[in-house]
Structure 1
Amino acid sequence: MSVSPSFPSTVGQAGWRRRSTTLHERVDALAERVGRTLVALDDGRLGSDVGRIVVDAARTGDPVAQLEVLSEACIDRLGHAVGRAAIDDLAVLVCDAQALRLELHDHELVSRTLRLADCERGLGRLRTCTTVASLLGSVCEEASRVCGFERVLLSRVEDGRWYPWLVNSAIAEEPWVVPWSRRSIPLDELTLEARLLVDHRPELVLDTGGEGIPAIVRDGGSRSYVATPVGPVGSAVGFFHADHGAEGPRCTETDRQVLWRFAEGFGRLYERTALLEQMRAQRTRIRGLLSVVDDAMAELTESELELAVHPEAGPRESDSALSMARSMRARLDGLTPRERDVLELIVEGARNAEIAERLDIGAGTVKSHVKHILAKLGAVNRSQVVAQYLGFRDGWGD
């Protein structure tokens, strides 16, 4: 699997990844503060409800939505708070949640812009691939690098089945990869992937324990992932699946948009590269056909051109035709067995290429035999050889 070279925006990607991790850690820390505060205010009586609120918030997978759940819980409790200290604590939590929501929103806007720009640069590098094989060999690595995913899987779709196919190098050795690369999955049993083919849109999956999630996702330990179809509307030829690793952060709406942009660009590049490859093959074939025609024309004119270069040879050869008639049998007997084989095929009208194929010898060897036959029979071209041979066939001796 080929690996794309490093590029300057890698530093920017590392920056937004660190920033994203920091913000997610702050969301988790705020959730713990909310839980402790609500439990303390209720003297532990509503601890189970508080726990449910925090768990439900975490299940949303989206940090912004998580903060909204926590903020609403604090606001609801604020309406029943008693004492200045309790009110202040809840108000601070609400303000911190709102401020963190704004930070997350701004971070998503900036990171989305950076990641989409990186996506375009990655597609530009893939555009330099001149064969389908080189394109496929680079695509998963490039998708991981420029889209910011830890794991990328490219699958192909054939006859209503999904075939896991290529992965980036970071996960090529994971134990679940090889077994699934040897299997296929019926699409009619997969609600999500089957719907992707029909709707032709990307999907962000935040709950991998729900219905319609393929077993390959569970085997890979994915907590959330993004899936996109590859190919034109109505005739998708594959899927991209990507996530941030079994232990990484949950995928976001930005992840969905970035992978979708990459999948669209890759689909067009695949079609373009396949078309160029087909055109090159056709051009090579046409060149081969033209070469065969050129060789045939050269054979037809070879002897005549020699006469044009040496016109004085014509009369001598013409004058010798009568004497050759008296000694033709002896000359035919002077041919070797292989030269006799070549002569038989010349009389049948075979060209040099056909003679080489039928006798399983090289084209150069055929030319050499033809020259020897012309010399031994005293002929100036193939037509004269044919006429002489047909005239003396009865005198042929093995």
Structure 2
Amino acid sequence: MTGTIDDEGLAAAIKRLPPWPPADDPPHEVEAREIDDALAAVEGELDRLGDTVDPALAGACRHLAALVEDHETKADRRLRRRLDSLAAVHQSLARLRELRSVEAIIARATREACEACGFDRAVLYRVRGPELIAESFYVKGDPEAAAQLLEFSRDQPLRMEQQSREREMIRRRIPMSIHDAMTNPHSFHPQAEVYDVHSYVAAPILPAGRVIGFVHADHRLKPRRVDDFDRDALWAFAEGLGFAIERARLTERLRAQGDELQRLLQRAQAVVHDYLDAEVEIVGGSGDSGAATRTAEALLAGVSPENEVEAALSRREREVLALLAEGASNSQIAAQLVIADETAKTHVKRILRKLGATNRVEAATMWLRAQQTD
């Protein structure tokens, strides 16, 4: 950091901070080193005393030292497992954020939950009043079973009773581990029997603080019970999933609004062009000073006092299209209207574009049909 602090109050607050500790290692590493030193000191003392120490006591001390070392090793392993799982969850959520729609994210979410957290099965539910509606199901290595379970789940929505675990999770905004799905009076017994689920974890999906769904997952294929680590891993995934869904929903809304704005701009541009065309014709002596205004108003309103084909075209373009419907070529149209051949050609191109016609014959047909409906 460079520069100086001009605010005297801030400078005084900085000076009140305690001195920076001289130790370079994090506290947990310092503690681990102190434990190792203490164990080494105990073993050294036992070696120094030699035969003067009761063999049973010496054996017990050495066994205790081995247990402490084993505990530290397992603690390091658990920490590494958590870090690896969080890294996998981060990568999984990054893949979900690349998807362009909420529907695609929901369809993929259960598989990503299993792959990131090591589960065998996962189901995503949407909250609809007092019911949970299944939206996505994944079974590792068995897509057919996943499809069947999803179909059953959609036909048999889970109804949350007042004392159900899911109700509690909604109230407290927390995940849970459930180990008695078959016997607990507050579980969904019919579904638990069909799923053959005994132990599972559940985490709420709550973008913007409101629970919109749940992710349930288990280790049924291994099989083994879920633990607190599984609960925390799924909780981290569900929290990130909520943000991904919220982001995708906002993106969809912005994209839809952008498309609508683009359509409005294109429509306004067409109206302006037609208005300007009509103004040129007025200057040329058409005698109809309100033609441009009426054409613009008809196009903006989406209706026409005559028909849709005429409303889409300027007065000059209607004259060109009428001659086109009689079979006139560009040169004949130019001669009839006393304009250049290139100008006639340009009018024809604009007519085809405005009507969405692919060729002259189709445009002429649209004109003749419009005249018959007048």
Q: TM-score, normalised by structure 2?
A: 0.58
The partner residue of 2:100 within 116, 126, 130 is 130
Q: Partner of 2:111 in structure 1? A: 141
- Partner amino acid for 2:95? R
Task: Report SS of the residue matched to 2:92.
Answer: helix
Answering whether residue 184 of structure 2 is matched by residue 210 of structure 1, we say yes
After TM superposition, list the pairs within 5 Å mapping 1:255-266 onto structure 2: 255-266=230-241
- Deviations 1:203-249, CA, capped at 9 Å, x for gaps: 01223332312122332112311101101475200000001125422
- Judged with a 3 Å threshold, the aligned counterparts in structure 2 of structure 1 residues 183 and 361 are, in CA distance, closer, same or farther, namely farther
Structure 2 distance, partners of 1:357, 1:139, is 54
Do 2:92 and 2:112's aligned partners in 1 also have CA atoms closer than 8 Å? yes
- Judged with a 3 Å threshold, the aligned counterparts in structure 2 of structure 1 residues 370 and 149 are, in CA distance, closer, same or farther, namely farther
Q: Partner of 1:369 in structure 2? A: 318
Do 1:205 and 1:226's aligned partners in 2 also have CA atoms closer than 8 Å? yes
After TM superposition, list the pairs within 5 Å mapping 1:289-304 onto structure 2: 289-304=264-279
- Partner amino acid for 1:230? I
Task: Report SS of the residue matched to 2:111.
Answer: helix
Structure 2 distance, partners of 1:136, 1:107, is 33
After TM superposition, list the pairs within 5 Å mapping 1:145-224 onto structure 2: 145-168=115-138, 170=140, 172-174=143-145, 175-188=148-161, 191-208=164-181, 209-215=183-189, 216-224=191-199
- Judged with a 3 Å threshold, the aligned counterparts in structure 2 of structure 1 residues 254 and 295 are, in CA distance, closer, same or farther, namely same
- Judged with a 3 Å threshold, the aligned counterparts in structure 2 of structure 1 residues 251 and 352 are, in CA distance, closer, same or farther, namely closer
Task: Report SS of the residue matched to 1:188.
Answer: coil
Do 1:132 and 1:273's aligned partners in 2 also have CA atoms closer than 8 Å? yes
- Deviations 1:73-98, CA, capped at 9 Å, x for gaps: xxxxxxxxxxxxxxxxxx99999998
Do 2:272 and 2:296's aligned partners in 1 also have CA atoms closer than 8 Å? no
- Partner amino acid for 2:77? H
Q: In the TM superposition, what is the alpha-carbon distance from 1:351 to its structure 2 partner?
A: 3.4
* C-alpha RMSD over aligned residues: 4.2
Task: Report SS of the residue matched to 2:201.
Answer: strand
Identity across matched positions, percent = 25
- Deviations 1:19-50, CA, capped at 9 Å, x for gaps: xxxxxxxxxxxxxxxxxxxxxxxxxxxxxxxx
- Deviations 1:229-286, CA, capped at 9 Å, x for gaps: 1014752000000011254221111111111001001101111110011011011111
- Partner amino acid for 2:299? R
- Judged with a 3 Å threshold, the aligned counterparts in structure 2 of structure 1 residues 145 and 348 are, in CA distance, closer, same or farther, namely closer
- Partner amino acid for 1:239? F
Do 1:154 and 1:166's aligned partners in 2 also have CA atoms closer than 8 Å? yes
Do 2:120 and 2:222's aligned partners in 1 also have CA atoms closer than 8 Å? no
Answering whether residue 67 of structure 2 is matched by residue 118 of structure 1, we say no
- Partner amino acid for 1:220? Y
Q: Partner of 2:298 in structure 1? A: 350
Answering whether residue 201 of structure 2 is matched by residue 226 of structure 1, we say yes
- Judged with a 3 Å threshold, the aligned counterparts in structure 2 of structure 1 residues 93 and 366 are, in CA distance, closer, same or farther, namely farther
Structure 2 distance, partners of 1:362, 1:307, is 18
Structure 1 distance, partners of 2:180, 2:71, is 22
Structure 2 distance, partners of 1:124, 1:369, is 55
- Partner amino acid for 1:173? E
Do 2:274 and 2:314's aligned partners in 1 also have CA atoms closer than 8 Å? no
Q: Partner of 1:245 in structure 2? A: 220
Structure 2 distance, partners of 1:359, 1:288, is 22
Q: In the TM superposition, what is the alpha-carbon distance from 1:101 to its structure 2 partner?
A: 6.2
- Partner amino acid for 2:161? D
Q: Partner of 1:274 in structure 2? A: 249
Task: Report SS of the residue matched to 1:292.
Answer: helix
Q: In the TM superposition, what is the alpha-carbon distance from 1:107 to its structure 2 partner?
A: 2.8
- Deviations 1:338-373, CA, capped at 9 Å, x for gaps: xxxxx9xx6996339845798465987887535456
- Deviations 1:287-308, CA, capped at 9 Å, x for gaps: 1112111111111111444788
Determine which structure has greater relative contact order: mean sequence separation of CA pairs < 8 Å that are 6+ residues apart, divided by chain length.
Answer: 1
Structure 1 distance, partners of 2:137, 2:124, is 6
Task: Report SS of the residue matched to 1:168.
Answer: strand
- Judged with a 3 Å threshold, the aligned counterparts in structure 2 of structure 1 residues 97 and 189 are, in CA distance, closer, same or farther, namely farther
Do 1:196 and 1:229's aligned partners in 2 also have CA atoms closer than 8 Å? yes
- Judged with a 3 Å threshold, the aligned counterparts in structure 2 of structure 1 residues 229 and 349 are, in CA distance, closer, same or farther, namely closer
Q: In the TM superposition, what is the alpha-carbon distance from 1:378 to its structure 2 partner?
A: 8.1
Task: Report SS of the residue matched to 1:351.
Answer: helix
Task: Report SS of the residue matched to 1:137.
Answer: helix
Structure 2 distance, partners of 1:357, 1:182, is 52
